[in-house]
Chain A
Amino acid sequence: MRILRMSKQALSAMAENKTRTFLMMLGVIIGVATLTVIASAVLGARAEVMSKVEKWGLDQISVMAGAGRKPGVPQTVPTTLKVEDAQAMLSEIANIKDVSPQINRRDFPVKYGSKTSYGVLIAANPNWVSVWSTPPETGRFFHEEDTGKLARVAVIGMTVQKDLFQDEDPIGKQILLGNNPFDVIGVLEARGTAATGVDMDSRVIIPLSTGLKRVFNQDYLFMIKTVLHDSSKMPQTVDDVRGLLRERHNLKPGIEDDFTIVTPTQVMNIASKLSTTFSLFLILVTVISLVVGGIVIANIMFIAVNDRQAEIGIRRAVGARQRDILVQFLIEAVSVAAIGGLLGVVLGLIGLKALSGFMKLPTAIMWQPIVLALLSAIIVGLMAGIQPAKKAANLNPIEALR
């Protein structure tokens, strides 16, 4: 096969001048390496966010008390979200399957003997377990019974257990929440760190009724988390919830909500906005280095065409057609770029390994970014090679042999 023989010629021409070939590859290597890192990091981050969101629940929405943080306006404690709102949502909106009204308080001191741990204190109903799908690992969660009699019972997270009890069995021990003694009745399954960096195991759950009356002494909630029957009707349900709460809170048209509705899509958007900014910057770097890589290839090819005029003349004299010369130089350019691309992918994967090791960056090694990287390298090679190759093909063989 003529094309095979010509490819062999092109490849041996590359092998003959290793320094030049390596210099040609350099830009592509760097470009493809960054591309591999970026694509894998972005895909990894996306997968991480998706898994976090899935854990959080795609069929859930949350109502937070207050309109959200606004610049320049002093933050007041929102007091309008009530337990009755939660009951109304459950009974009046058909798509809502379950509600978990709760009070969350950060950095709450939890004491046992002389030791203190600061965690999130959550006052919630027994259905908190199913809504947050976080069952106790040892002991039990509290029941309606406990809620009814305002029992001083607490279920703690793994971090709290480690801080206060080390190897001791916490079940049945008494801890102090503020100045209130509570009996530990269970320890929750480990949940790890959230995307926001919050330790999800540093928390203590107590019955909502007990929390309202005995610990916080308030009648308003921090949030209501809801589970939907049908997640495809989420936008409609969000509207229903907003309408219902505005009505119950007597908000006239024109006055803004005194609550905030958070949906999984919003959570995803926040997370992806961050990675979009980051990846836009890196994509710019990639494009620039690939363009520079292409320019380097084109320039060195032009120099090579000048240096190799005699060779081109000889090849033409022994019967190479113009397109044979064109193809040979194109094969050279594309092979250089493709090999550079392969090296770039390898370098990128090594870099990725280092990144995920040092920076705890979530990464995913997938075939799509690798194929994308190689493909763009080949395109760069073609674009960079075409002009020099044309120049080589159009050389007058007599001039070239002189």
Chain B
Amino acid sequence: MIEVSNLSKTFQKDDIEVQVLRDVSLTIREGEFVSIMAPSGMGKSTLLNILGCLDKSTEGTYVLDGFPVHDMDDDELSRTRNEKIGFVFQSFHLLPRMTAWENVILPLVYSDNEFNMKERAVQVLTTVGLADRVDHLPRELSGGQQQRVAIARALVNNPRIILADEPTGNLDSTSGEEVIKIFRELHAGGVTLIVVTHDMEVALQTDRIIQMKDGRISSDLLTASQSEEAPQ
């Protein structure tokens, strides 16, 4: 599903080069539920952005679903994000003036899939337990509900991978647990999930924990919930 090898990322800040990722190699198979852990500023967001086709690596290769992402131009990256990837952000990133269902259909605006938009939005909102919040504005929803709208948006175009950046970071523990529960359900349904977090409780609910330090992968372990052998 995801094959990353020898990935490096360097940022130019003023006259100083900052290397955020150093020689990262990683394979994630279809249907895995993976967490990436690292202290702040240790490259985990950069890695997520590259895996999410929002950013490109300076060196190395990234093959997603058989396609060489490292060779793609901006249009192809956009199309890949639209068709294969769903994002869930720490601060939800909903459009404040749009209702729940209008937020959910956003990926469909840029898609070639001709869904009946509202019907599809209601369908996905129902799977995250928000069937009765379809016409609510984000500010009329609790944090947990907003994050579930964001998950519905990530799911609406049937992506292969969900990338979540600290999805429980802004939530109380109950709402956070609910989000993780939805993730586990999605995992059970065969969706590949990658969650960036610094919360060990969250990480322990995934099947595999990748820890990073100084831009490198420092450990790659299966959790107790996963009895299978770790890949690679």
Contacts and interface: CB of A to CB of B under 8 A. Distances in A.
Contacts of A314: 93-95, 106
A319 B89 contact: no
Contact of A318 (B82, B98, B102): B82
A318 B89 CA distance: 12
B109 A317 contact: no
A127 interface: no
A5 interface: yes
A16 B93 CA distance: 17
Interface in B74-115: 74-75, 78-79, 81-83, 87, 89, 93-95, 97-98, 102, 106-112
B166 to A, nearest CB: 13
Contacts of A318: 81-82, 87, 106-107, 110, 153
A397 B95 contact: no
B55 interface: yes
Interface string A68-79: 000000000000
With a 10 A CB-CB cut-off, give which of B95, B109, B112 has the most chain A CB atoms.
Answer: B109
Given A16-B97, A314-B95, A2 B110 contact: yes
Contact of A398 (B54, B74, B153, B157): B54
**Could you say which interface size class chain A belongs to?**
20 to 34
A117 interface: no
B107 A319 contact: yes
Contacts of A397: 54
B49 interface: yes
B81 A317 contact: yes
Given A310-B93, A314-B95, A314-B106, A319 B111 contact: yes
A5 B95 contact: no
Nearest to B156: A318
A245 to B, nearest CB: 80
Interface in B103-153: 106-112, 153
Contact of A320 (B78, B87, B97): B78
Interface string B44-84: 00000100101100000000000000000011001101110
Contacts of A320: 78, 82, 109-110
Contacts of A316: 54, 78, 81
A321 B106 contact: no
Interface in B153-188: 153, 157
A319 B110 CA distance: 6
Contacts of B87: 317-318
A6 B79 CA distance: 16
Contacts of B52: 317
Nearest to A317: B87
Interface in A309-335: 310-311, 313-322, 324
A398 B56 CA distance: 11
A314 B154 CA distance: 11
B93 A401 contact: yes
A18 to B, nearest CB: 11
A272 interface: no
A9 interface: yes
A310 B107 CA distance: 15
Nearest to B95: A311
A118 to B, nearest CB: 73
A321 B78 contact: yes
A322 B78 CA distance: 8
Nearest to B87: A317
Contacts of B108: 5
Contacts of A398: 49, 54-55
Interface in A287-318: 310-311, 313-318
A387 to B, nearest CB: 20
A401 B55 CA distance: 12
A315 B111 CA distance: 12
A319 B82 contact: yes
Contacts of B107: 318-319
Contact of A319 (B49, B79, B102): B79
A319 B93 contact: no
B92 to A, nearest CB: 10
A401 B81 contact: no
Contacts of B106: 314-315, 318
A311 B94 CA distance: 8
Contacts of A321: 74-75, 78-79, 110
Contacts of B93: 310, 313-314, 317, 401
Contacts of B98: 12
A322 B89 CA distance: 21
A228 B74 CA distance: 75
Contact of A9 (B49, B55, B83, B109): B109
A342 B54 CA distance: 41
A315 B54 contact: no
Nearest to B84: A319
Question: Among the interface residues A16, A311, A318, A401, which one has the most CB atoms of the partner chain B within 10 A?
Answer: A318
A398 B102 CA distance: 23
16 contacts: A2-B109, A2-B112, A5-B108, A5-B109, A6-B110, A314-B93, A314-B106, A316-B54, A318-B82, A318-B153, A319-B79, A319-B83, A319-B110, A319-B111, A321-B110, A397-B54
Given A319-B79, A401-B54, 13 more contacts: A310-B93, A311-B95, A313-B93, A314-B93, A316-B54, A317-B52, A317-B93, A318-B81, A318-B82, A319-B78, A319-B82, A320-B78, A324-B78
Q: Across chains A and B, which 4 residue pairs bring their CB atoms closest together, nearest first?
A: A319-B82, A318-B107, A321-B78, A319-B110
